[in-house]
């Protein structure tokens, strides 16, 4: 496997960019190419870097790093030549926007040729070096894809609908009826290339004065054969595709309208398909569909992209800032193309492979024989040896015949031109035109002696022997490139005019000799000079007088017979054409029906795709809405979590506060209980002291001041050990107060405390305390002769208790305080 090699080449500013005052946005350093976005602000990153196999700086010729056509060929073209001689298919194509320098890199001007002519010249030069050991055969084809139709650039005419593209199951896509021209030297290749370039479609646009309006593919089919180690035949066939693509373009930038706009649409369609193929191959997804057949260009380059070929891509880019977007797009495509992996294999001839496999089997069978003779193995060995020798002999004979034909064609100057064969020669010669000999099927060529006389006549010693003439009919003298016809004993004419004296003959002159022979004079040097000067000889000068002279002696009967034959042929041909027309109309109707069905199918597919796109758009909008809601919910959740954290903190603080209040209340209650016990003890002592004095007398001030019965003070036998009667109202009241406070403490320690029940307990406690104060006040007012004593601090200063409640989450906590 081998990855596609990618090279990038930047051209200088063209006149249009100089007039616009364009700035350079391309920088190169080794294999790295940087594109700078001058529209970016100072704070933004305004460049992108790409790394390729080769980066060619052809912007300024005075720069020491300037890449010439020769350097590009040495690094890229030599690889193509080496791959072809190793038996691999090779492809080199140039990609980029219109006017970026693709055609200059691939073809180049005559004084500075590009990759295609240099590769062809190098191949023939290497064939000349290795000609002793191997035999070679080279065929050339040249086509263009114009408006998605294939045209043969080397054919005299093309069908209106273009040539058809087909696909062989093993050899891949090919163009049906495409002409292939056998070439034996680089000069022939140059002539064919020049002829094809003249026929190629170009036009002027705002972006390029000579914009290519089609994709051109120049193909070399290179066959080489020879004998390898141990006399085994070796034969490989390599196809070298050299592709000059039309440039991608924008209608607003090129100013295209009408036909130019239509051409641009087809160009962009094929280039978009090429980009899709590159992207699909670069992603390397298993089972992914590669749209080769969406465009003729990608279909023909199927083997070159991901198939059996070693491929090189040259990305041609503009340095100007006005072409920033197109240049960036080209660099991105080139960067993707680096990831394409091809699977090149040596294209060995099947017969040669079979011979090699037979030879290996023969070696194995000989090893099985050993010292003892085994009839079965021996018979198989002899059979395979015979087959191997037969195939080798056939292969050698085929190449001997091929080489003989090549040598003969080269000697005669034969070359194919479309469906015909051109007979070229570098020497002045005469070509026989035998109008009376209707059975003649060949062409006779007579070379003239260089710088001397050529005798024409019926005598055996003449240089050119023609029957029906005088023994020494005439002489043609050739000296310093000038040919002169001198009649001797027979009738002679030049371009239909009889001559009896020496007459100069020039390129294309028709020479009439006697009544039956017409010869045409050809001088290749003079013809080349006339082509260079642009002169064209008229048909009337060539055929006018001579044709009438030749037909003077034709009998009327022969003319009538010929006329009838032509009439029959005309009727037959007309019938055939009518039949062919009917068949074509039938095929057209079938094709239209198929096209209609295809259009309906495509329309249905388009509707399905549009519906699917609408569904996907709706799903995408729903997804965006859902994402928005999720974001909002997440924000709400975060806010709630924050609030919960705050509430937890408040709850913890409240718990601490409640705990502090509870402890304070507990300490306070214990202090109050202790004070109550002390008061009870004091009260008991006071009451005990008073009881020992005995009951009050009649003149006692307390007794006299009150007329109350002495039921408040029980007898001594009713006192307890502490001096307080068990049935005393004060002791009962104190016990109730203590019990009520114990209930309040028990309620406060319970997490599920009921607020209303707690408030009831506290209210009841306050009521008991007020009743206790009233009782003590009343008791202190009953002491004899003494003023009512002041209540204890614990009795008077104790404030009423109130409750504040704060609710948190699952339970309530209560806070005690004094108003």
State in Å, rounded, how far the first CA of the chain is from the last one.
Answer: 96
Q: Which two tokens stand for residue 236?
A: 């490989």
Q: Is 96 annotated in some ligand binding site?
A: yes
Strand pairing class (452-457; 464-465): parallel
Are the C-beta atoms of 100 and 317 separated by less than 8 Å? yes
587 burial via Cβ count (<10 Å: 0-12, 13-18, 19+): exposed
410 burial via Cβ count (<10 Å: 0-12, 13-18, 19+): middle
E strands present in 408-549: 414-417, 420-423, 429-433, 445-447, 452-457, 464-465, 474-479, 482-487, 492-494, 497-498, 503-505, 510-513, 517-522
C-alpha separations of 547 from 512, 544, 556 in Å = 10, 6, 16
Helix (H, G, I), strand (E, B) or coil at 81: helix
Q: Tell me the sheet residues that pair with 521.
A: 430
Q: Is 102 annotated in some ligand binding site?
A: yes
Q: Is 97 annotated in some ligand binding site?
A: yes
C-alpha separations of 636 from 19, 630, 641, 688 in Å = 61, 10, 8, 75
Q: Which two tokens stand for residue 653?
A: 């603080």
Cα–Cα distance, 369 to 358 (Å, whole number): 16
Cα–Cα distance, 350 to 333 (Å, whole number): 38
Cα–Cα distance, 6 to 266 (Å, whole number): 25
DSSP state of 4: P
Buried b (16+ CB within 10 A) or exposed e, 591-611: eeeeeeeeeeeeeeeeeeeee
Backbone angles phi, psi at 320, to 5 degrees: -80, 145
Q: Is 99 annotated in some ligand binding site?
A: yes
Cα–Cα distance, 662 to 681 (Å, whole number): 28
Cα–Cα distance, 712 to 294 (Å, whole number): 124
172: nearest Cα among 288, 308, 80: 308
Question: Any idea how long the chain is?
Answer: 819
Cα–Cα distance, 400 to 708 (Å, whole number): 166
DSSP state of 717: G
CB atoms within 10 A of CB 557: 8
C-alpha separations of 354 from 18, 177, 729 in Å = 62, 30, 135
Backbone angles phi, psi at 725, to 5 degrees: -65, 140
Chain centre distance of CA 221: 29
DSSP state of 133: T
Q: Which residue has the tokens 């937890």?
A: 648
Cα–Cα distance, 498 to 494 (Å, whole number): 6
Q: Which two tokens stand for residue 457?
A: 């006549």
Q: Is 101 annotated in some ligand binding site?
A: yes
Backbone angles phi, psi at 609, to 5 degrees: -65, -40
Cα–Cα distance, 177 to 154 (Å, whole number): 12
CB atoms within 10 A of CB 363: 11
Q: Which residue has the tokens 């052809």?
A: 58
Q: Which residue has the tokens 């496999």?
A: 357
Are the C-beta atoms of 768 and 740 separated by less than 8 Å? yes
Q: Tell me the sheet residues that pair with 224.
A: 136, 236
Q: Which two tokens stand for residue 511?
A: 């020479």
Q: Which residue has the tokens 């005299």?
A: 156
**Binding annotation:** 96-103
**Binding annotation for ATP:** 96-103
């Amino acid at each position: 496997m081998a990855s596609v090699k990618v090279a990038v080449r930047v051209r200088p500013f063209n006149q249009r960019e100089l007039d616009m005052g364009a700035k350079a946005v391309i920088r190169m350093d080794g294999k790295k190419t940087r594109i700078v976005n001058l529209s970016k602000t100072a704070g933004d990153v305004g460049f992108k870097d790409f790394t390729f196999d080769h980066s060619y700086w052809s912007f300024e010729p005075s720069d020491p790093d300037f890449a010439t056509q020769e350097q590009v060929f040495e690094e890229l073209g030599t690889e193509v030549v080496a791959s072809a001689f190793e038996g691999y298919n090779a492809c080199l194509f140039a990609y980029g926007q219109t006017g970026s320098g693709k055609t200059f890199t691939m073809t180049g001007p005559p004084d500075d040729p590009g990759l295609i002519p240099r590769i062809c010249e190098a191949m023939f030069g290497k064939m000349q070096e290795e000609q002793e050991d191997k035999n070679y055969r080279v065929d050339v084809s040249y086509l263009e894809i114009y408006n998605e139709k294939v045209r043969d650039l080397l054919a005299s005419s093309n069908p209106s609908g273009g040539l058809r593209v087909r696909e062989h199951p093993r050899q891949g896509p090919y163009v049906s009826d495409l002409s292939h021209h056998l070439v034996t030297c680089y000069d022939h290749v140059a002539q064919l290339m020049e002829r094809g370039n003249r026929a190629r479609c170009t036009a002027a646009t705002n972006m390029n004065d000579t914009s290519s309006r089609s994709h051109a593919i120049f193909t070399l089919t290179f066959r080489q054969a020879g004998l390898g180690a141990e006399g085994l035949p070796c034969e490989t066939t390599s196809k070298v595709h050299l592709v000059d693509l039309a440039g991608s373009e924008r209608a607003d930038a090129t100013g295209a309208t009408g036909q130019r706009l239509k051409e641009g649409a087809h160009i962009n369609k094929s280039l978009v398909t090429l980009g899709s193929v590159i992207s699909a191959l670069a992603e390397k997804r298993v089972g992914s569909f590669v749209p080769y057949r969406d465009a003729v260009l990608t279909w023909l380059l199927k083997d070159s992209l991901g198939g059996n070929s070693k491929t090189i891509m040259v990305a041609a880019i503009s340095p100007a800032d006005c072409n920033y977007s197109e240049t960036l797009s080209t660099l991105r495509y080139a960067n993707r193309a680096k990831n394409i992996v091809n699977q090149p294999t040596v294209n060995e001839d099947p017969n040669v492979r079979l011979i090699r496999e037979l030879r290996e089997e023969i070696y194995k069978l000989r090893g099985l024989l050993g010292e003892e003779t085994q009839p079965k193995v021996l018979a198989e060995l002899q059979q395979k040896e015979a087959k191997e020798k037969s195939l080798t002999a056939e292969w050698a004979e085929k190449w001997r015949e091929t080489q003989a034909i090549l040598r003969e064609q080269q000697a005669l100057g034969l070359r194919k031109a479309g469906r015909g064969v051109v007979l070229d020669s570098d020497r002045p010669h005469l070509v026989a035109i035998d109008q009376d000999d209707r059975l003649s099927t060949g062409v006779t060529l007579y070379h003239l002696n260089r710088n001397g006389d050529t005798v024409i006549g019926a005598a055996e010693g003449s240089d050119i022997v023609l029957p029906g003439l005088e023994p020494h009919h005439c002489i043609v003298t050739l000296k310093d490139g000038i040919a002169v016809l001198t009649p001797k004993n027979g009738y002679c004419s030049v371009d239909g005019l009889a001559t009896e004296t020496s007459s100069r003959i020039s390129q294309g002159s028709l020479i009439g000799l006697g009544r039956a022979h017409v010869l045409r004079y050809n001088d290749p040097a003079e013809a080349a000079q006339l082509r260079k000067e642009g002169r064209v000889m008229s048909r009337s000068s060539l055929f006018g007088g001579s044709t009438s002279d030749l037909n003077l002696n034709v009998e009327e009967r022969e003319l009538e017979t010929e006329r009838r034959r032509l009439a029959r042929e005309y009727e037959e041909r007309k019938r055939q054409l009518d039949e062919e027309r009917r068949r074509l109309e039938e095929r057209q109707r079938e094709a239209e029906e198929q096209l209609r069905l295809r259009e309906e199918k495509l329309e249905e597919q388009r509707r399905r795709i549009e519906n699917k796109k609408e569904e996907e758009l709706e799903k995408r909008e729903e997804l965006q809405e859902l994402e928005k809601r999720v974001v909002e919910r997440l924000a709400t959740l975060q806010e709630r979590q924050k609030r919960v954290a705050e509430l937890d903190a408040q709850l913890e603080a409240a718990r601490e506060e409640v705990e502090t209040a509870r402890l304070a209340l507990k300490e306070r209650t214990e202090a109050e209980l202790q004070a109550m016990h002390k008061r009870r003890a004091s009260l008991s002592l006071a009451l005990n002291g008073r009881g020992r004095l005995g009951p009050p007398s009649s003149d006692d001030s307390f007794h006299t001041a009150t007329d109350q019965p002495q039921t408040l003070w029980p007898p001594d036998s009713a006192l307890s050990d502490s001096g307080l009667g068990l049935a005393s109202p004060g002791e009962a009241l104190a016990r109730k107060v203590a019990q009520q406070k114990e209930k309040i403490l028990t309620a406060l320690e319970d997490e599920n405390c009921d607020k209303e029940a707690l408030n009831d307990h506290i209210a009841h406690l306050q009521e008991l305390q007020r009743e206790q104060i009233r009782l003590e006040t009343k008791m202190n007012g009953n002491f004899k002769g003494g003023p009512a004593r002041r209540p204890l601090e614990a009795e008077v200063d104790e404030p009423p208790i109130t409750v504040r409640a704060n609710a948190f989450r699952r339970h309530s906590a209560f806070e005690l305080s004094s108003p």
